[in-house]
Structure 1
Amino acid sequence: MKNTLRTGVRNIVVEGPIGVGKTSLARRLGEHLDAELLLEQPETNPFLSRFYQNQQRYALQTQLFFLFHRLDQLHERTQLQLFPRTVVSDYLLEKDLLFAGLTLNEDEYKLYRQIYDRLSPQASVAPDLVIYLQAKPETLIARVRKRGIDMERRISDDYLMLLGESYTRFFHHYDDAPVMVVNSENLNFADSTDDFLLLVQRIESMRGRREYFNRGD
């Protein structure tokens, strides 16, 4: 039987830094809600592995590939609005600017921003809910090392720490959609049904624009 969330929540984004578990949660929510999934699919980016080896040389190519891939997905989604269906995604388009600001030099960022500003309004639709997963930098580092994805072996600890800090700043100011901030330190949405259903319950009871969920709340 198809599950649903509270009225009006049809477009859900799960976000957070590398290693926090956003794709696993997005997949589980998608299955629970019989929703359409929009996923980043970083393994399809031919520049990403080279970026982790030489960020300065491959940052712009990596960012532009991700941007065009996401814009294509979101544009295709907007064409299907005549047949609305719940959508769960593991990325927020605006976070591309976060990564661009971290990795591009001044001239590259100006070029990237021109392209982003020209194309993003055609595909950008504010989500009904953003689930922002947080974890301590040392937790993110440990999780990335544990899962052992080959190209991620080249990610430095410093980069992962900087990324986590950047996400914190980004979501401190983000106000385009309601946000559920989730401390994932002691939660395992991929493997624990109890944890997952507890999160669903918290989403159901959410009434404000920003709420916080920690294990034990």
Structure 2
Amino acid sequence: MTDPHTASPGPAPDLASPFERFRHIVVEGPIGAGKTSLARKLAERFGAQPVLEEAMGNPFLERFYRDSRRYALPTQLFFLFQRVNQLRDLAQHDLFSQAMVGDFLLDKDPLFARLTLDDDELRLYQQIFDSLSPQAPTPDLVIYLQAQPDTLVERVQKRGIGMEAAISEPYLRALAETYSRYFYHYDEAPLLIVNTEHLNPIDRDEDFAVLVRQLAELRGRRSFFSIGE
């Protein structure tokens, strides 16, 4: 993907900021969906505070991709504590003093745990998660980016991040299906489901503008957005 830092600066004159309606937006989706790139681009265009996963800071992640069974629990717990600390730090600095956009939803964290942990580890993880999760704020809007598993696999392979080379296709497919089931039932915040098969809001400014205008037109608690090929 194109580095979002090279995108043209500033919003188009007719592009109203989605943060006028939603002060706290979270962009979600499985690996390869483009959630971090879109969250960063929204933050840059509209002056929101980015709250992004720091995956490269997890010392267990590369080992997890090589040997998931052995390193699943420390990888999962590191991410859980990291995300909780990020959200806690924001709360201590007046969470809503500035609009913010994140690329992770803490409530979704157990999805990975259920895919990778055995029963005893999952019980331990769940106890820790239950004690920490009340500290996480509920966003004003969640944008869920979805794509077919084959598309996600292709994107992960194309972007060529070293540690991701060890991610198995079955794991990516299982993750995509798990996300789909989770957001099918999600009702904690307003939700926009975006099909990204033929939408590229990172590399194409016209697609970005279409998506932002869709945010301005949202009504109700659940919407779906897709464009044709």
Which TM-score band (shorter chain)? over 0.9
Determine the C-alpha separation between the residues in 1 that align with 2:90 and 2:201: 26
| C-alpha contact (below 8 Å) 2:30/2:176 kept by paired residues | yes
1:134 lines up with 2:155 in the alignment: no
1:100 lines up with 2:101 in the alignment: no
- List per-residue Cα deviations over 1:28-71 (Å, max 9, x = no partner): 10012201111112111000000011111100000000000000
What's the secondary structure of 1:182's corresponding residue? strand
Residue 122 of structure 2 aligns with which residue?
109
Q: CA deviation at 1:4?
A: 2.7
| C-alpha contact (below 8 Å) 2:142/2:189 kept by paired residues | yes
How many correspondences in the alignment?
216
For structure 2, the 5+ residue unaligned runs are: 1-9
Aligned counterparts, 1:142-181, within 5 A: 142-181=154-193
| C-alpha contact (below 8 Å) 1:12/1:89 kept by paired residues | yes
Determine the C-alpha separation between the residues in 2 that align with 1:28 and 1:54: 33
For structure 1, the 5+ residue unaligned runs are: none
Q: TM-score, normalised by structure 1?
A: 0.96
- Of the three residues 117, 125, 132, the one matched with 2:137 is 125
What's the secondary structure of 2:26's corresponding residue? strand
Q: CA deviation at 1:83?
A: 6.1
The AA in structure 1 aligned to 2:44 is E
Determine the C-alpha separation between the residues in 2 that align with 1:161 and 1:65: 23
| C-alpha contact (below 8 Å) 2:140/2:190 kept by paired residues | yes
Q: CA deviation at 1:5?
A: 2.1
Residues 50, 209 of structure 1: CA spacing in aligned structure 2 closer, same or farther, 3 A cutoff?
same
Aligned counterparts, 1:72-83, within 5 A: 72-81=85-94
Runs of 4+ aligned structure 1 residues displaced above 3 Å come to none
| C-alpha contact (below 8 Å) 1:33/1:86 kept by paired residues | no
What's the secondary structure of 2:106's corresponding residue? coil
Residues 82, 90 of structure 1: CA spacing in aligned structure 2 closer, same or farther, 3 A cutoff?
closer
The AA in structure 1 aligned to 2:79 is F
Residue 184 of structure 1 aligns with which residue?
196
1:208 lines up with 2:208 in the alignment: no
Q: CA deviation at 1:102?
A: 0.6
Determine the C-alpha separation between the residues in 2 that align with 1:6 and 1:212: 19
| C-alpha contact (below 8 Å) 2:19/2:99 kept by paired residues | no
What's the secondary structure of 1:94's corresponding residue? helix
What's the secondary structure of 2:223's corresponding residue? strand
The AA in structure 2 aligned to 1:23 is T
| C-alpha contact (below 8 Å) 1:144/1:152 kept by paired residues | yes
The AA in structure 1 aligned to 2:27 is V
Percentage of matched positions with identical amino acids: 55
Determine the C-alpha separation between the residues in 2 that align with 1:82 and 1:13: 14
What's the secondary structure of 2:18's corresponding residue? coil
Determine the C-alpha separation between the residues in 2 that align with 1:141 and 1:83: 36
Determine the C-alpha separation between the residues in 1 that align with 2:116 and 2:217: 38
What's the secondary structure of 1:215's corresponding residue? coil
| C-alpha contact (below 8 Å) 2:23/2:96 kept by paired residues | no
1:27 lines up with 2:40 in the alignment: yes
Residues 155, 104 of structure 1: CA spacing in aligned structure 2 closer, same or farther, 3 A cutoff?
same
The AA in structure 1 aligned to 2:178 is S
